[in-house]
């Protein structure tokens, strides 16, 4: 009988700490975020197996339904401009910036000072704009993350070993063949990793090689900065609005591998200009940074 008063007192104390401490609120929200991800992965995987009996891009519809509900739990709103540009009936490469766990569902080490770099769930923001027959490319380690890895596999996501360039190139070549054969859209983050520094990182070349080798257009998608409502360094995690803008498709027909640097620079400059504009971040002296040269991923 004495258990319940102690439990009630502990819960009240926890609620008080969460209300008074910004760090406690941040940890509580991240913990809830991770718990919801794991629960949704498990339930979605069961539904995918029952409905489609295995791995297929059609399972992305089920995953999209689950992930699209996360915004209500965490008070996120999306304002999307140009969504119709993604509604094409042919293969293409979609590229976008990648900032935090708000656009990638996951983060097991929720109480660590900075959320981990791996990104198990398809992006929440991506799900707001995800067109039909669209899959991602992810690092191979994610497939071993229990129900999270299972739901990624069932959704048709391509896994690459980023530590072995020859293996990664083989997978990318297979991706190119399949996207043309199966009429797939492939969503890639050309920065190669999460980035919350208020600007874009230099792009890696993999997405641009893929687009040119398959002669499919590139469609840039830009998400505004999350810094006004999500910042792990300051333990900020509140409700907020994410602006998303889809740019016009950039054709690659007739281009060759020699055109990769110019294509990469064109996409980088267009995306960076849009990112700074919709994030209301002023460009210093009107200068823009170049993408630099990095190995293909």
DSSP 76-88: EEEEEE-GGGG--
Overall size of the chain counted in residues: 297
DSSP per-residue codes, 7-67: HHHHHHHHHHHHHH-HHHHHHHHHHHHHHHHHHHHHHHHHHHHHHHSS--GGGHHHHHHHH
Give CA 217 to chain center in angstroms: 20
The tens digit of pLDDT for each residue in 264-286 reads 999 999 999 999 999 985 444 44
Q: What is the pLDDT of residue 183?
A: 94
**DSSP letter assigned to residue 250:** B
Alpha-helical (H) ranges within 130-198 are 146-154, 165-181
Mean pLDDT of the chain: 80
Q: What is the CATH number of domain 12-286?
A: 3.40.1130
Q: What confidence score (pLDDT) does residue 18 get?
A: 57
Domain boundaries, the chain: 12-286
Report the predicted TM-score, pTM, of the whole model to 2 decimal places: 0.80
HSE on the CB side for 206, CA within 13 Å?
A: 27
Element (H or E) spanning 231, and its range? Answer: strand 230-231
Among candidates 178, 173, 177, 147, which has minimal Cα distance to 160? Answer: 173
Q: Is the confidence at residue 139, as pLDDT, over 50?
A: yes
> Exposed, middle or buried: residue 5 (CB in 10 Å: 0-12, 13-18, 19+)?
exposed
Highest mean pLDDT among 159-173, 211-225, 235-249: 211-225
Query: What is the mean predicted confidence (pLDDT) over 29-50?
Result: 90
């Amino acid at each position: 009988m004495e258990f319940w008063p102690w439990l009630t007192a502990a819960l009240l104390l926890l609620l008080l700490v969460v209300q008074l401490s910004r760090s406690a609120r941040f940890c509580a929200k991240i913990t809830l975020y991770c718990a919801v991800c794991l629960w949704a992965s498990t339930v979605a995987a069961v539904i995918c197996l029952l409905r489609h009996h295995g791995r297929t891009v059609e399972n992305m519809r089920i995953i999209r339904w689950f992930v699209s509900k996360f915004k209500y739990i965490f008070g996120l709103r999306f304002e999307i401009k140009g969504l119709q540009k993604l509604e094409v009936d042919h293969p293409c490469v979609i590229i976008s910036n990648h900032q935090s766990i708000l656009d990638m569902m996951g983060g097991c080490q929720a109480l660590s000072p900075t959320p981990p770099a791996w990104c198990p769930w398809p992006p929440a923001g991506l799900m707001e704009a995800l067109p039909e027959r669209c899959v991602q490319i992810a690092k191979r380690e994610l497939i071993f993350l229990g129900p999270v890895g299972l739901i990624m596999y069932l959704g048709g996501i391509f896994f690459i070993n980023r530590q072995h360039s020859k293996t990664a190139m083989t997978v990318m070549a297979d991706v190119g063949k399949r996207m043309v054969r199966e009429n797939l859209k492939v969503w890639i983050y050309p920065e190669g990793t999460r980035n919350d520094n208020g600007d874009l990182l230099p792009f890696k070349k993999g997405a641009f090689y893929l687009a040119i080798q398959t002669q499919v257009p590139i469609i840039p998608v830009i998400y505004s900065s999350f810094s006004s409502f999500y910042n792990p360094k300051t333990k900020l995690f509140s409700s907020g609005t994410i602006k998303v803008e889809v740019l016009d498709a950039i054709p690659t027909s007739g281009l060759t591998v020699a055109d990769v640097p110019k294509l990469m620079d064109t996409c980088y400059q267009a995306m960076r200009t849009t990112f700074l504009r919709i994030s209301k971040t002023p460009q210093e002296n009107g200068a823009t940074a170049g993408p630099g040269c990095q190995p293909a991923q």
